[in-house]
């Protein structure tokens, strides 16, 4: 996703001179390096000074610039939190805070490099929209939306590498604030977002082998949330599975369960998210997800028991 992010910004910046990129201690590569070379006056690397990254971005936005403040996710939101809240959101400035390598992607570096509660935090800040694309296509569309239509601050939560685009005949186009149907099915519904959508897609393919057909939705825009589409999903499915690479507190599971209560949903909701614990694990992402109970084989086994 980081390559798509850089490519999208580089292409749109050729025509839009208001686009600026402020990064914190990230070495530009690929198209981001091309951006730096072609538009050196619009690229600033502040080093290990994330608070300054947000302050500079706010100043640029006050001068009618569209700004991307970009670094590793754990440092893009947590370290400069006060500046995001006061400099950006209080003044409702058009700055996109980009967190790369979100969730448990940097599992081998331990809890200091994980963002397992970032969506919960970001959703609570007034004026801040929250988007977590499920594939490079959604990321490209999000960047274009921010540059052309967004008038306020955004937290953009992205992956790192290896995320596929999802292409089924029924896959819908991306729209800000709207759930996007990835795959059509009638037996069970999956709700997810971000890079972990790859696991959801693989689970659906395995379930098809035993004639269980899953409908998959990308809940890419977590704030504002598409309550209208969720009501339609509640009316169609008796079983809904939420899978997310985020804490069980304040993320998609919390959103869906709150809406289920408000709309008196009579079905069952099965949630798979990160436990409310710091697990001392320094290994692969899959290993950490398993310790949190997010494992494809176990989810498949559970669904087989539910449906059959």
Tell me, what's the pLDDT at 94? 97
Vertex 277: Cα angle to 275 and 283 (nearest 5): 90
How many other β-carbons are positioned within 10 Å of the β-carbon of residue 283? 12
Query: Would you give the distance in Å from CA 26 to the centre of its chain?
Result: 20
8 A C-beta contact, residue 168 and residue 204: no
* Nearest Cα to Cα of residue 230 among 219, 220, 243: 219
- CA-CA distance, 143 to 31, in Å (whole number)? 14
Q: What is the pLDDT of residues 248-261, one digit of tens each?
A: 999 999 999 999 99
Name residue 223's beta-bridge partners.
Answer: 130
pLDDT of residue 27: 74
The pLDDT, as a whole number, for residue 266 is 97
Dist CA 279 CA 15 (whole Å) = 46
- Helix (H) or strand (E) run with residue 244 in it: strand 239-247
Give me the pLDDT at residue 233, please: 98
Helix (H) / strand (E) containing 272: strand 268-274
Q: What is the pLDDT of residue 28?
A: 74
Predicted pLDDT of residue 174: 97
**Ranges of the chain with pLDDT below 70:** 29
Q: SS3 of 157, please?
A: strand
pLDDT at 30: 72
Q: Token match 């994980």: residue?
A: 114
């Amino acid at each position: 996703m980081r390559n798509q992010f850089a490519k999208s910004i580089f292409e749109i910046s050729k025509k839009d001179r208001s686009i600026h990129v402020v990064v914190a201690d990230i070495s530009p590569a690929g198209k981001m390096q091309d951006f730096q070379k072609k538009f050196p006056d619009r690229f600033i690397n502040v080093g290990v000074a994330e608070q300054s990254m947000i302050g500079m971005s706010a100043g640029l936005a006050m001068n009618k610039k569209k700004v991307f403040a970009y670094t590793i996710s754990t440092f893009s939101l947590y370290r400069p939190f006060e500046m995001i809240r006061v400099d950006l959101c209080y003044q409702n400035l058009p700055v996109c805070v980009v967190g790369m390598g979100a969730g448990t992607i940097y599992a081998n570096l331990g809890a200091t490099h994980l963002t397992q509660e970032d969506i919960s935090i970001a959703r609570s800040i007034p004026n801040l929209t929250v988007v977590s694309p499920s594939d490079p296509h959604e990321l490209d569309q999000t960047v274009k939306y921010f540059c052309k239509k967004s008038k306020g601050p955004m937290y953009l939560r992205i992956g790192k590498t290896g995320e596929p685009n999802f292409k089924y005949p029924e896959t819908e186009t991306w729209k800000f604030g709207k759930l996007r149907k990835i795959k059509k099915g009638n037996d069970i519904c999956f709700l997810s977002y971000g890079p972990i959508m790859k696991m959801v897609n693989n689970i659906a393919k395995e379930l098809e082998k035993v004639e269980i057909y899953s409908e998959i939705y990308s809940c890419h825009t977590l704030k504002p949330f598409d309550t209208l589409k969720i009501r339609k999903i509640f009316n169609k499915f008796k079983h809904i599975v939420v899978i997310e690479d985020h804490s069980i507190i304040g993320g998609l599971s919390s959103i869906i369960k709150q809406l289920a209560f408000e709309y008196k949903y009579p079905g069952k909701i099965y949630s798979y998210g990160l436990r409310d614990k710091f697990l001392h694990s320094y290994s692969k992402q899959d290993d950490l997800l398993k310790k949190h109970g997010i494992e494809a084989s176990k989810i498949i086994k559970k669904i087989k028991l539910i449906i059959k």
